[in-house]
Structure 1
Amino acid sequence: MASTHEPEVHGPVDFVLLEFPMEGLTGRASQEVARLVKEGVIRLLDLLVIAKNEEGLVEVVELTDPGGQAKEFSYLEGVQSGLLGEEDIGEAAGAVLPGSLAVLIVYENIWAAPFVAAVRDAGGELVASTRIPAPDVMAAFEALGAAPPVS
């Protein structure tokens, strides 16, 4: 009996490394991550919080500590796909300044899954992809004297 099961389609998977000062965290970034998940824009695969003290010592922060540095992300505790390893932690820690808190997030752009399926159904394949950082885009629009496109 032939299987009619189609392969599962995923959206692109991205990672971001965000750096925050140790003091003055508002929790707004974690609220936006939660909103994106709730609205089905992204699927959170991994979330890791790293503290780097003034001497450069690195610690993976426990999200479940109610009084800890990462308390704003505590409701995301346990989000772990296994994609991040010790090497990733080391690279992330090396990229951030002493005295900062870093959040490494790996997520799937599930909004794109129907587009990916349509491309595949038409026999298409992704041959190149890159991300242009938002500050570069804003600078380009500013240089052109143009406002960003409105959707």
Structure 2
Amino acid sequence: MGPVQVLVVGFDHPAFSGEIIAEFTRLREAGIVRLVDLLLVARDEDGAVETLPVPPGTEAGLGHVTAALLGQPDGETGVTAALLGRPDGETGVTVPDDAAWSLADAVPPGSVAAVALIEHLWAGPLTTAIQKAGGVPLEETWLAPADLAALETLVSQRHPG
């Protein structure tokens, strides 16, 4: 399995109607990505976190794997602790403090977030090639949407037309 990305997407006013799951299905059928798990959480203005039910039409049992990685397989206590940077460790999975804190920073009070574990199927052969060449990942990040316009400008200047 892998590589697997943890993607946290925030929603101020969630309107889940199936489009996101439908797109994951399309991407899976195309061999691009696979949705390994999905956990929905809400964080109130005081910072308390609760898990939310998955939208209708999604696979039963979604969220348990992500909750386990965050600190507790069942119940919201471990999820709350992990979001606040205090995983309880009862799952046998070690979550680095910096990973837990970055997740807490990603979910602002008064919002809802989807925490998705996404396996990048397309990247498996690339990962294998990098490993065979002796390479190891040192860092990865996604450019912020605001930076994409600047990137487009720079690329177009380098490769006009």
TM-score normalised by structure 1 residue count: 0.64
1:2-151 aligned at under 5 Å gives the runs: 10-63=1-54, 71=55, 74-79=57-62, 80-81=64-65, 82-85=68-71, 86=78, 87-90=81-84, 91=101, 92=103, 95-121=106-132, 123-135=133-145, 137-144=147-154, 146=156
Q: Cα distance, 1:116 vs. partner?
A: 2.3
Q: Counterpart of 2:5 in structure 1: which amino acid? A: D
- CA gap 1:76/1:100 in 2 versus in 1, 3 angstroms: farther
Task: Give the Å deviation of 1:31.
Answer: 2.4
Matched pairs, number: 130
Higher Rg:
1
**Deviation, structure 1 residue 131:** 1.7
Shift of 1:25: 4.1
Runs of 4+, deviation exceeding 6 Å:
none
Deviations 1:41-100 (A, max 9, x none): 12323211002245544210122xxxxxxx25x513324434332343445455323332
SS at match of 2:21: helix
Extract unaligned runs of 5+ from structure 1. Answer: 1-9, 64-70
Q: Which of the two has greater helix per residue?
A: 2
RMSD: 3.1
Give distance in 2, aligned partners of 1:41 and 1:102: 23
What are the Cα deviations for residues 1-56 of structure 1, in whole angstroms up to 9, with x where unaligned?
xxxxxxxxx43221111001235444423322232223221232321100224554
Question: Which secondary structure state, in structure 1, belongs to the residue aligned with residue 23 of structure 2?
Answer: helix
TM-score by length of 2: 0.61
Partner secondary structure for residue 78 of structure 1: coil
Contact kept in structure 2, 1:49 and 1:104, CA below 8 Å = yes
Query: Structure 1: how far apart are the matches of 2:14 and 2:8?
Result: 18
